[in-house]
Structures are given as structure tokens and as C-alpha cells.
Chains A and B, each alone.
Chain A
């Protein structure tokens, strides 16, 4: 029975090439989207779940609250003193390890030097994360201060081989470290990334802050492994009680958070996790499943449209003694066969698309063909799709009464039958139109943000990290660069122009009303800050070498003046934790951190000690190539160990929009696919409907109907459905995209032309799809049509 059903299914597919093609292509695209989604979700879902103990690994988080006890910030930085306390006082804790945030550091094997991600960690980190050691002993690998653990990739980069135990590498062109371990490369979906890992004891040598056990500097990470049977809530309660005794923690508290959740649920509000990247996963799921559903609807519509043909078969089989379940199974077999063919194409499609998708999301996803789980996923996808696409037609077709189907030559229209198909088509186009409107709104929002004035002259503005010899030879560098003519002005500061994230509260100013917790963003910079960046000065002047007193001076943004309500800001003195600073200049606000909202008011101080980035304005008279060559030459002379890393500030601004640009591309892509598959389905139905009505058209033509009126007859019924879809989709899309826009403080509006374009575009494409078929039928010779029956 099964083999016969299979054979019939294949013969049916072969016989109805148009509908088979439409179904296979549609389903293949939908399945490919779902496959990529499946890979993506698996990747995200397994974030930080690789190590054996991952379920028991926790990270210490810090809540910062204001005077009213309201938590306004939650982050993963902790102090150095927390780890030893936890270890001593909480019995459920098996291991505690401190790490730093990691950064790019120079590592060299002789002349081969590279800037790679480094981390410092306590030896117990190796017990918390069971890194796979290819060489070396995890028990002792971090014991000696001057040792280092390399990943295999790092070892290969440096030495060309992974068997490099006991070889020596040079760190930051300064200290030689012995390789005490080589571990397998860390999976991309794990949080604590590094290329090489160094002992905490070495960190303590380098940085006095790391050695000092304090409760004030939240620059370190604390990772905790709890006993397998520990109750994390209980542990957190204990921790809370324990920390109450520490007077230094006036405004900060700590809690443990499961590490394998931080990636997807890393957004905290008021000290509680409120989601995070999981939203992105829901969005992807919605899009991919939507596409697949559209393809499934095509299948349903084509299957039920052909019901007249299949009804005869059902009738005959029923008179032979076929039971309804056996018929349902037969029709499901057909949808399964179709889905199987589609999945084969879908896997190929997904393979072709993955590189582009990876590129878009900056990921490295792969299909794993040798993993049973991925095959289970694929089989599950096929079964579910086959069932979704096939069950409605199966139940519908198998319900036919034999006598009605056998008796009737041409089936009369059943009300319900037609309206169900209409509902499905309307559903398809609703989804499609909503996607098109979303795409346009996202595009408009991105344009709106892009076109907002930055307040900074980004052209010819470049940044480079201040590191190595440049930490001490900045003045020489500045003198030589200015003299060379490649750079017209420059300054160094603690962080780059786009990212500040140095929020403070507790500033006092004249006329201030009571205590408050207003947050300001503090920028530590040096002379020529305004001259280099091209900010607009409203009052006063830039920092300058000419005034020695400028170390006690401050520049403020106009938002700061407004916040502080200073009528005459120049010359006013503000108090920054005891430091008295005189306002010497006011500049117009500029965009940093997030281009979507107004950021904290800025306080710019002059501070030569805090170094991080050098910002330069290139000479516009010369070519870019010329300028960079000069900078590279001078930088190499002064700082030979470090390769030059020149970044354009404009690129840094563009990166701020990356997430929305990605969203735009995705909704574009999925919207395009949705309209393509929907129109394929529409085309299939038009072909079928035309076929069915050839005789009617023949008769009408003989009676004198014009081509136009016939086309109208065929097209109008389809276009009516699209119009209904538009009527439903527009308010929905308007509502959802309106809510999306509300997430941004600076946002555009949904203009009428967006809706007009989406509606008329969809109508036009649908009209072309159906119209072609209608024209073909309407212009055919009536004699052929009438002979046909």
C-alpha cells in the first residue's frame, strides 16, 4: 500500500508540473529559511553551555542603586575583594575565579608579533571551565606568574604548530612568558573569549589595582562554580546578607547569575533580567516560520483547488472499500514526498546562503552533517512541514462523498471551500504587506538617524589606540605628526569619541537644588579637543597649551548647561568629588554612545594621565593615502612593536547603526521572499482557475465578450482578496511599527507614502502575476476551448 501511495504521489507530482514546481520552490525557500534559523538558534541556545559544569557556572553581577534604593544599573564588573569573601563564607561555592575583562595585547614569538585578545585569570578558572588541553597540565598551568596558556589557533599563528609547550613568548614587548598549556580553540558561542590566558599573579605584578583587595573598583569579573545540588536562590540570599555587613558597599550589591543565560537574557531592568538577545531569536523565528507558512498555504491552496480532479479518485477508492484514514495517509504521503524533495533543495540553498548570512550577522555558522541532533532537527522540520501543509487538504479531500464526486462532471462551487482558500490567500498577503511596510519603516528610521547632524566633523577624523611606546612618547608623536603635515591637529583621551560610557553622578554645581542623582558623562581628554573634532563652540574656548590653569578647567555641553540651569556658565566652578573645576567653554551637543536617544550631559576635563585613544584630524590638502603612510611611518619608528591600527570615526558612527541596518536587510530579504512565494501561489491558482474556466471563457467569447472583460473576470476575484489583505495588514503594521519606533527617543514617522507604496506595489505585482495568465486564457481560440470537453 505504502509503495503504491508513493508511486502515485510521484506520478501526480510529475503530471502537475506547474503546481509541483511552485510548491517545491516555495517550500524549499521556506525550509531553507527555517534551516538557517535552526542552526542560528542552536548556536545562540548553546551559548556558554559547552563545559561539563555549565549548568552550575555563575557570574557575579553588580547592581548599582541610587539613594532611594532603586537599581539603575546592572553589570558584570566586580571588585577584587568579592571573590575571596565568597570563597570563605559561602559553603555551596566549589570554586571562585577572578578574571579581567580582557583586551588586545601584543604577543610575539621573536619578530612575529600580533595583537590578540588576552585575559588574566586565577588558576581556579581552569577548574570552573574545563578547557580541553592539547598540551600541558590544567592543574599547574597558571601557577607560575610568568606562564601563558595559548589556544591552538594562537599557537599556530605564532609558531606554526600547536606542540609548543615550554616555548617562550614575549608579552607587550616587555616580558617573556613560558607556554604552560595549549588548549583547543574556544567555541565562538562562549562569553569569556581569549586567544591567550595569563595568570592572575602576573596581573598583580603589572597592575597594583588588581593586587589591592578593595570594594571600590568594579573592573574585574568573578566566576563561580556552585555545587551541583546547590540552590542558587539560597546562595544569593546568603550573599546578600553577607554583603550587608560591608559598609563600603553603600550603593552596590552583588548577586550570582547563571552564566549560560547571560547571552540571551542579558538585559537588566531594576536589577532583574528582562530579556535581551532572546528577542532577536523570536523575531527570526517569526520571520522564518512566516515564510514557511506562506509556502504551506500555497500547497494547501493548490491541493484544494485541484480537488475536483482528486475527488473522483477519492470516490472510486471509497467504493472499493477505502477507509477515510487510509485516504488521509495517502494525501499526507504526497505532502511528505513533496517536503522531502524540497528539503533536499533547501539544504543546498541553505549551504549557498550561509556565507552571506554569516557575513551579515558577523558569525560563523555551519551545518553539522555528522551530528545526529541536526538530522533529528531536519527530520522534525520535514515532518512538521508535511503535516502542516498536508493535513488540511488531506482532511478536506478525504471527506468527499463518493456519489457526489462520481456523479458530477463539473463541481459546483461550495461556499465554504472557496472562502477557506480566500482566507488563506488573504493571510499570506497580510503577512507579506506587513513585511513590506516594516522594511520601509526601518529604512526610513535608519535614514532619519543617519541624517541627524552628528555635531562632529567626521570626515578625515581618525583614531588609533594609544599603547606601547606611545603611552610615554605622545608628545614626540604629536610634534612629529604636526610637523610632517599629515595631521593638522590631535589629542589623546581616555576613550574614543563615539564610546564614552563613563557615567558618574554626584557632581555639585552652583545653584544646585539638594542632593540628586543626575548622571553625567565624563570625558577625559587633552588640548585641542574641540579643534580636532570640529565641535561647535557656543561660548568660551577649547583647552589650550597656553593656559597652565586648564588642568583645573572644564568644558561642558549645552545639555549640561541646561541641566545645571546655569545662566552664565563661563567662569562658574563645579565640584567633581572635591576637585574644583572652572567652566571655560560650552559646546553644542554631539552624538555618542547611542544615536537613538539623547545621552547624558557631558563634562569634559583635561587629564593627561588617562590614556586610551589618540584622535587626529588629517590634513585635507593631501590625499588619504599620503597621510596614512606618513602616520604609519612615524608610528612605526616610535612604537616599533605595535602594528598601526587606524580607525575612521565615521566607521565607528556607522557601526552604531549596525543592528538596525541588519534588521533592515533581514526584513528586506524576508519580505522579498514572502512576496515571491505568495505570488508563486497566486500564479498557480490563476493557472488553475483559467484552466478550469476555459470552457466558460470559450462560451463567453462566442457570445461576444471582449478580451478586456474576460481578463477582468479572472483577475478581479484575485485582486479583491489582495485589497482585503491590504485593509487588514495596514492598520496592524501601522500599530506594530509605531510601537517599534517608540523604542527610539529620536524616531521618524510612518508616512502615508510608505503605505501607498506597499499597497500599490503588492497590487501591481499581483496584477502582473494574474494578468499574464488571464491574458493568455482570454486571447486563446474559443474553438479549442469548446472542443476540450
Chain B
């Protein structure tokens, strides 16, 4: 599904190149649950952003579902966002002016899905995440865990094939974090959604099937998680 070849990212300041990523090459198959780990500044988020097409690599090739991303037009990228990629952020990034239901509905609007279908999908999501009672509340009326649930529901509503999560539990208490991880695992196993998450937590990484260890922009380790 995803093929990275020799991805590099650096910033040139005063003639000095400061590397964020170096020689990153890897392949991720459909249905994998990958955790990217590493200390602060290792380039985890940058890698995820490149995977999510939010940033462009300085060098190297990136193929997403057989298409070369580096040469993709803005319009094509928007199509990919709409149909294949769901984002989950550490800071949830819900739209403050929209209610829970509207936040979940928003990506469907951009996908130009018909009204009736939208309503049923939103209802489905609310149901599935047990937040039906909160559908008319605004994000600032919810706890962090609830907000992240809405964030995931929003990402899932568009029925993406891959979810990119940047420290999805970073702002949550451990009980809530566990709940989110269980959810990811379930989505991965039951619906075959590819999940790539950036995390600091060994526990969270344990939920996945594969761990990429990043150190100073280089992949140090690529492990398969043995389910215990």
C-alpha cells in the first residue's frame, strides 16, 4: 500500500543542512498496524506528515496505492484525503464552531455524499462510539477522551483505508488511552483498516503489529510485535 524509498528531509540554514529524516525506506501493507516510536526530535511526526502528504520530502519517492505522490496535483491529493486517509491528532483538532454530529458529518460533505446517507453514517458513528447523547454538544463541552472519540469517529466516517494518528492518546488519561487503543485494534482487525500511529508509549505500541524505531531521522529497528 505504501512504499517509501530513500526518503530524506532536511532544512538548509546558512548553508548547513539539518536533517530530520535520512534514508528512510520501508513498505507498509494494507491491514498493518504500525507504531512509529523514538525519542523527541527523532523525526516521527515528520515521517507521519510525509505519509499523510502534509509535508513533502526533500528527496526520495513515495508511492501511495501505486501512485507516485511527489508528482501528484493538489486536486488528486484532495481526492486521496477525501477517500482514503483519516487523520487523528493529539490535540483532537475538532472544529470548535461545529457540534459533535456536524464534526463527524464534515468530511462526508466534502466527499459529496447524499444527505440521507450522511445522516445514517453519522447516526451509525454516534451509536458505535456511544456518544448519541452528546451529538448536539460543542467540543469544549466534552472531556479530552470524548473529544478524541469524536476525532476518531470523524476520521472513520469517511470510511478511509488508512488512519494516521499523531500521538492519539498523548493528552489522555491512561484509562481513556487504553479505550482508544482497544478501538484501534478492533478497527484494524475487524475492518482491515491500516493504522499508522506515532507514540511514545510501549504499551500503545504493543497494540500494533509492527514497530518502527526512529533515531535521529534514521530507522534503527523494524520489529514485528509478537502478540502475547
Q: How does the 8 Å CB contact mask read for A10-46 relative to B, with 1 for contact and 0 for none?
A: 0110010000000000000000000000000000000
B79 lies within 8 A of A316 (CB) = no
Give, as a whole number of angstroms, the nearest-CB distance from A577 to chain B: 85
Residue on B nearest A320 in the bound complex, by CB: B107
Given A319-B87, A321-B78, A321-B79, decide whether A402 and B54 contact each other with a Cβ distance below 8 A: yes
Chain B residues whose C-beta falls within 8 Å of the C-beta of A11 in the assembled complex = 97
B219 sits at the interface (CB 8 A): no
Q: How does the 8 Å CB contact mask read for B89-133 relative to A, with 1 for contact and 0 for none?
A: 100011111100010011101110000000000000000000000
Of the residues B85, B89, B102, B109, contact of A406 by C-beta under 8 Å: B89
Of the residues A4, A319, A324, contact of B102 by C-beta under 8 Å: A4
A146 sits at the interface (CB 8 A): no
Of the residues B54, B97, B106, contact of A320 by C-beta under 8 Å: B106
B109 lies within 8 A of A4 (CB) = yes
Residue on B nearest A326 in the bound complex, by CB: B110
Give, as a whole number of angstroms, the nearest-CB distance from A590 to chain B: 72
A514 sits at the interface (CB 8 A): no
A318 sits at the interface (CB 8 A): yes
Chain B residues whose C-beta falls within 8 Å of the C-beta of A783 in the assembled complex = none
Taken together as a complex, chains A and B put the C-alpha atoms of A312 and B139 apart, in Å, by 14
Taken together as a complex, chains A and B put the C-alpha atoms of A522 and B55 apart, in Å, by 88
Q: How does the 8 Å CB contact mask read for B132-152 relative to A, with 1 for contact and 0 for none?
A: 000000000000000000000
A315 sits at the interface (CB 8 A): yes
Q: Which of A301-330 contact B (CB under 8 A)?
A: 312-313, 315-324, 326
Give, as a whole number of angstroms, the nearest-CB distance from A310 to chain B: 10
Taken together as a complex, chains A and B put the C-alpha atoms of A326 and B109 apart, in Å, by 10
A1 sits at the interface (CB 8 A): yes
Chain A residues whose C-beta falls within 8 Å of the C-beta of B49 in the assembled complex = 403
Taken together as a complex, chains A and B put the C-alpha atoms of A315 and B83 apart, in Å, by 17
B93 lies within 8 A of A312 (CB) = yes
Chain A residues whose C-beta falls within 8 Å of the C-beta of B93 in the assembled complex = 312, 315-316, 406
Residue on B nearest A401 in the bound complex, by CB: B54
Of the residues A15, A315, A317, contact of B106 by C-beta under 8 Å: A317
Give, as a whole number of angstroms, the nearest-CB distance from B121 to chain A: 14
A8 sits at the interface (CB 8 A): yes
Q: Which of B154-192 contact A (CB under 8 A)?
A: 154, 158
Kindly name the residue among A1, A320, A322, A402 whose own CB sees the greatest number of chain B CB atoms within 10 A: A320
B110 lies within 8 A of A321 (CB) = yes
B82 sits at the interface (CB 8 A): yes
Give, as a whole number of angstroms, the nearest-CB distance from B107 to chain A: 4
Give, as a whole number of angstroms, the nearest-CB distance from A1 to chain B: 5
B81 sits at the interface (CB 8 A): yes
B217 sits at the interface (CB 8 A): no
Give, as a whole number of angstroms, the nearest-CB distance from A411 to chain B: 15
Q: How does the 8 Å CB contact mask read for A489-532 relative to B, with 1 for contact and 0 for none?
A: 00000000000000000000000000000000000000000000
Given A8-B97, A11-B97, A403-B54, decide whether A320 and B102 contact each other with a Cβ distance below 8 A: no
Q: Which of B42-58 contact A (CB under 8 A)?
A: 49, 52, 54-55
Chain A residues whose C-beta falls within 8 Å of the C-beta of B79 in the assembled complex = 321
A323 lies within 8 A of B78 (CB) = yes
A1 lies within 8 A of B109 (CB) = yes
A320 lies within 8 A of B110 (CB) = yes
Taken together as a complex, chains A and B put the C-alpha atoms of A313 and B96 apart, in Å, by 8
Taken together as a complex, chains A and B put the C-alpha atoms of A315 and B78 apart, in Å, by 13
Taken together as a complex, chains A and B put the C-alpha atoms of A651 and B79 apart, in Å, by 76
Taken together as a complex, chains A and B put the C-alpha atoms of A313 and B102 apart, in Å, by 14
Chain A residues whose C-beta falls within 8 Å of the C-beta of B83 in the assembled complex = 321
Chain B residues whose C-beta falls within 8 Å of the C-beta of A403 in the assembled complex = 49, 54-55
Give, as a whole number of angstroms, the nearest-CB distance from B119 to chain A: 13
Given A1-B109, A326-B110, decide whether A319 and B97 contact each other with a Cβ distance below 8 A: no
Chain B residues whose C-beta falls within 8 Å of the C-beta of A4 in the assembled complex = 98, 102, 105-106, 109
A320 lies within 8 A of B55 (CB) = no
B109 lies within 8 A of A318 (CB) = no
Chain A residues whose C-beta falls within 8 Å of the C-beta of B52 in the assembled complex = 319
Kindly name the residue among B52, B82, B106 whose own CB sees the greatest number of chain A CB atoms within 10 A: B106
Chain B residues whose C-beta falls within 8 Å of the C-beta of A319 in the assembled complex = 52, 54, 81, 85, 87
Q: Which of A387-423 contact B (CB under 8 A)?
A: 402-403, 406
Residue on A nearest B164 in the bound complex, by CB: A319
Of the residues B55, B82, B97, B105, contact of A12 by C-beta under 8 Å: B97
Give, as a whole number of angstroms, the nearest-CB distance from B51 to chain A: 12
Taken together as a complex, chains A and B put the C-alpha atoms of A455 and B107 apart, in Å, by 82
Chain B residues whose C-beta falls within 8 Å of the C-beta of A316 in the assembled complex = 93-95
B102 lies within 8 A of A321 (CB) = no
Taken together as a complex, chains A and B put the C-alpha atoms of A323 and B82 apart, in Å, by 10
Chain B residues whose C-beta falls within 8 Å of the C-beta of A312 in the assembled complex = 93
Of the residues A8, A315, A321, contact of B98 by C-beta under 8 Å: A8
Residue on A nearest B75 in the bound complex, by CB: A323
Give, as a whole number of angstroms, the nearest-CB distance from B103 to chain A: 9
Chain A residues whose C-beta falls within 8 Å of the C-beta of B109 in the assembled complex = 1, 4
Chain A residues whose C-beta falls within 8 Å of the C-beta of B107 in the assembled complex = 320-321
Give, as a whole number of angstroms, the nearest-CB distance from B144 to chain A: 17
Give, as a whole number of angstroms, the nearest-CB distance from B53 to chain A: 9
Residue on A nearest B96 in the bound complex, by CB: A313
Taken together as a complex, chains A and B put the C-alpha atoms of A312 and B94 apart, in Å, by 9
Kindly name the residue among B75, B110, B154 whose own CB sees the greatest number of chain A CB atoms within 10 A: B110
A313 lies within 8 A of B95 (CB) = yes
Residue on A nearest B85 in the bound complex, by CB: A319
Given A1-B109, A12-B97, decide whether A320 and B89 contact each other with a Cβ distance below 8 A: no
Residue on B nearest A14 in the bound complex, by CB: B97
Residue on A nearest B83 in the bound complex, by CB: A321
Taken together as a complex, chains A and B put the C-alpha atoms of A322 and B79 apart, in Å, by 9
B82 lies within 8 A of A321 (CB) = yes
Chain A residues whose C-beta falls within 8 Å of the C-beta of B106 in the assembled complex = 4, 317, 320
Give, as a whole number of angstroms, the nearest-CB distance from B21 to chain A: 15
Chain B residues whose C-beta falls within 8 Å of the C-beta of A402 in the assembled complex = 54
Residue on A nearest B84 in the bound complex, by CB: A321
B95 lies within 8 A of A317 (CB) = yes
Given A402-B54, A403-B49, decide whether A322 and B110 contact each other with a Cβ distance below 8 A: yes
Taken together as a complex, chains A and B put the C-alpha atoms of A326 and B106 apart, in Å, by 12
Chain A residues whose C-beta falls within 8 Å of the C-beta of B110 in the assembled complex = 317, 320-323, 326
Give, as a whole number of angstroms, the nearest-CB distance from A186 to chain B: 56
B158 lies within 8 A of A320 (CB) = yes
Taken together as a complex, chains A and B put the C-alpha atoms of A317 and B78 apart, in Å, by 11
Give, as a whole number of angstroms, the nearest-CB distance from B215 to chain A: 22
Kindly name the residue among B82, B109, B154 whose own CB sees the greatest number of chain A CB atoms within 10 A: B109
Taken together as a complex, chains A and B put the C-alpha atoms of A12 and B89 apart, in Å, by 23
Residue on B nearest A9 in the bound complex, by CB: B97
Taken together as a complex, chains A and B put the C-alpha atoms of A26 and B89 apart, in Å, by 39
Give, as a whole number of angstroms, the nearest-CB distance from B12 to chain A: 18
Residue on B nearest A322 in the bound complex, by CB: B110
Taken together as a complex, chains A and B put the C-alpha atoms of A15 and B98 apart, in Å, by 12
Q: How does the 8 Å CB contact mask read for A276-318 relative to B, with 1 for contact and 0 for none?
A: 0000000000000000000000000000000000001101111
Give, as a whole number of angstroms, the nearest-CB distance from A315 to chain B: 7
A320 lies within 8 A of B98 (CB) = no
Give, as a whole number of angstroms, the nearest-CB distance from B168 to chain A: 14
Of the residues B81, B89, B95, B102, contact of A318 by C-beta under 8 Å: B81
Taken together as a complex, chains A and B put the C-alpha atoms of A313 and B106 apart, in Å, by 12
Chain A residues whose C-beta falls within 8 Å of the C-beta of B74 in the assembled complex = 324
Taken together as a complex, chains A and B put the C-alpha atoms of A691 and B78 apart, in Å, by 35
Taken together as a complex, chains A and B put the C-alpha atoms of A33 and B135 apart, in Å, by 44
Give, as a whole number of angstroms, the nearest-CB distance from A318 to chain B: 7
Taken together as a complex, chains A and B put the C-alpha atoms of A89 and B83 apart, in Å, by 82
Taken together as a complex, chains A and B put the C-alpha atoms of A584 and B54 apart, in Å, by 99
Chain A residues whose C-beta falls within 8 Å of the C-beta of B75 in the assembled complex = 323
7 sample A-B contacts, Cβ–Cβ < 8 Å, listed by A number: A4-B98, A15-B97, A312-B93, A320-B110, A320-B154, A321-B111, A323-B110
Beyond the given A7-B102, A11-B97, A320-B107, please list 15 additional residue pairs across the A-B interface where CB-CB is below 8 A: A4-B98, A312-B93, A316-B93, A317-B95, A318-B81, A319-B54, A319-B87, A320-B81, A321-B78, A321-B81, A321-B158, A323-B75, A326-B110, A402-B54, A403-B54
**When A and B form their complex, which 3 residue pairs have the shortest distance between CB atoms, in order from nearest?**
A321-B82, A321-B81, A403-B54
